[in-house]
Copies of this chain bind each other. A is one copy, B any other.
């Protein structure tokens, strides 16, 4: 295992708490930091394991990492500018639990994201 390189987290924060691994890497390079792409990936993964960042997917499949709070939440993502709003999803939790019970599923998790165009786009 490896611990996260603190500069990666700090860069992700500076990026607005929302960026892909490649973007974090490029940003660090531009700022003259000496780091390898591999380390960026490893650090981000480790941050995901520690639940310090959240990972979701762009439309093109690229993984984007974002700082998240402790509470489990869902996202409303703008397809235009990438702006993200954290939203409440109590309804979803209940729905997932009900459905899982109905079909005898255990150890269930779920994903639920809403995407569209925000008022600015």
Instruction: Name A residues whose Cβ lies closer than 8 Å to a Cβ of B.
Output: 57, 59, 61-63, 76, 78-79, 85, 87, 89, 91-92, 94-96, 99-100, 103-119
Q: Which of B91, B103, B115 contacts A91 (CB 8 A)?
A: B91
**If A76-B100, A87-B99 touch, does A92 touch B112 (CB 8 Å cutoff)?**
yes
Work out how many copies of this chain go into the complex: 2
Partner of A114, one of B63, B76, B85, B105: B105
Answer whether A118 and B103 are a contact pair too, CB < 8 Å, given A111-B112, A112-B110, A113-B110.
yes
How far is A111 from B57 in the complex, measured between Cα atoms in Å? 11
Query: Nearest CB to that of A62 among chain B residues?
Result: B61
CB pair B92–A76 under 8 Å, yes or no, is no
A40 to B105, CA, bound (A): 33
Provide a sorted-by-A list of 27 A–B residue pairs whose CB atoms are within 8 angstroms. Answer: A57-B61, A59-B111, A61-B62, A61-B63, A87-B99, A89-B95, A91-B92, A91-B94, A92-B95, A92-B112, A96-B114, A99-B114, A100-B116, A105-B116, A105-B117, A105-B118, A105-B119, A106-B117, A106-B119, A108-B115, A108-B116, A108-B117, A109-B115, A111-B112, A111-B113, A111-B115, A112-B113
